[in-house]
Structure 1
Amino acid sequence: MIPENELVSVLQQPDRAGVYHLPQRGAEAITHAARELDFPVLRVDLSGCADKGDFLARVAAGLKFPDWFGQNWDALADCLADMAWLPADGYVIILEHADRFRVAAEADFIAALETFDDAARERAADGIPVWIFVGLTANGIVHLRTL
């Protein structure tokens, strides 16, 4: 993981933002750096989550999506592309305890990561960093980068 004193600088870089493995004991340092930048830190507890519907409902609640959220991948992409209800210069999203979702619904887990990564790239083009950190006990997940 990047040293804590460098995290603030890294989190400001939209071109580096995207989907990352949440480093063990890294959530506190990431949260602290994000708060220094006045970026909202949005946490989603995925403990026991085993399917797409439950995942989308938890994400909608954790990210404070508007009532019109449609509970599908396209609606997730739309909400991530324009977070007008929560304006900020950057965002940190922490998906905690994602192991069960990854194992129980692997295709949906991958679709979720791809949707988040696409949104991060889209927002980076506007100069807004969107960081997604996924808490897993497993390492080496192809779709997840490491800091």
Structure 2
Amino acid sequence: MNDDDFALALDDPRQAGVFFVTADDLTVLASAAHDADLLVRQIDLAGCEGKELLLQRIAEALATPAGQGRNWDALGDQLRDLSWLPAQGYALLFAHADALRDAGEAAFDVLLDILDETTVDWQERNRPFWAFLALPDEDFPDAP
């Protein structure tokens, strides 16, 4: 992947979504997202083996306001709000997403569902919301 792969599309809410990428792609995506005037937050999921730690790492990366809940419903609400982080759009970059996936697909699947729903919600407001989850290279056998 190079800087031009996403340079034109990251500011388009209609193209935004949840995507699996390689770890090497995250640096390029962060740069392209910054160039598209998106607020970028990186969330490292190394060693993350479940819901509690996942929610903690997301809350830290997003600097969620004190007193906000730490459960799935609260995460969905927070991601659809983000009023404390005003921006033209958002890009969440999840490093080591395989740690969560391999520890238990239930939490991973719920996270994907919440991110998908969040993307649709932001699309309706004409703002891009991207989520990129880095998986190992071997998860992309057809990649060049």
- TM-score normalised per structure 1: 0.88
Note the C-alpha offset of 1:71: 0.8
Note the C-alpha offset of 1:66: 1.3
Kindly indicate whether the alpha-carbon contact (under 8 Å) linking 1:60 and 1:69 is maintained by their aligned counterparts in 2: no
Runs (5+) with no aligned partner, structure 2: none
Note the C-alpha offset of 1:65: 1.2
User: In the alignment, what sits opposite 1:121?
Assistant: 120
Note the C-alpha offset of 1:69: 2.1
Percent same amino acid among aligned pairs?
35
Note the C-alpha offset of 1:16: 1.4
Runs (5+) with no aligned partner, structure 1: 141-147
User: In the alignment, what sits opposite 2:105?
Assistant: 106
Please tell me the residue identity of whatever aligns with 1:57.
Answer: Q
2:14 is paired with a residue whose SS is helix
Flag as ranges the 4+ runs of structure 1 deviating above 4 A: none
2:31 is paired with a residue whose SS is helix
1:20 is paired with a residue whose SS is strand
User: In the alignment, what sits opposite 1:145?
Assistant: none
CA separation in 2, counterparts of 1:110 and 1:128?
24
Cα 1:6–1:49 shift into 2, 3 Å: closer
CA separation in 1, counterparts of 2:45 and 2:52?
12
Deviation per residue, 1:84-109 (Å, 9 max, x gap): 00000111101111212111121111
Deviation per residue, 1:35-70 (Å, 9 max, x gap): 112211100111101110010001110121111321
Kindly indicate whether the alpha-carbon contact (under 8 Å) linking 2:3 and 2:31 is maintained by their aligned counterparts in 1: no
- TM-score normalised per structure 2: 0.90
1:85 is paired with a residue whose SS is coil
Superposition map of 1:75-86 within 5 A:
75-86=74-85
CA separation in 2, counterparts of 1:116 and 1:88?
18
CA separation in 2, counterparts of 1:132 and 1:125?
17
What CA RMSD, in Å, does the superposition of the two structures yield over aligned residues?
1.7
CA separation in 2, counterparts of 1:98 and 1:133?
9
CA separation in 1, counterparts of 2:26 and 2:99?
19
Range 111-120 or range 64-73, more displaced:
64-73
1:22 is paired with a residue whose SS is strand
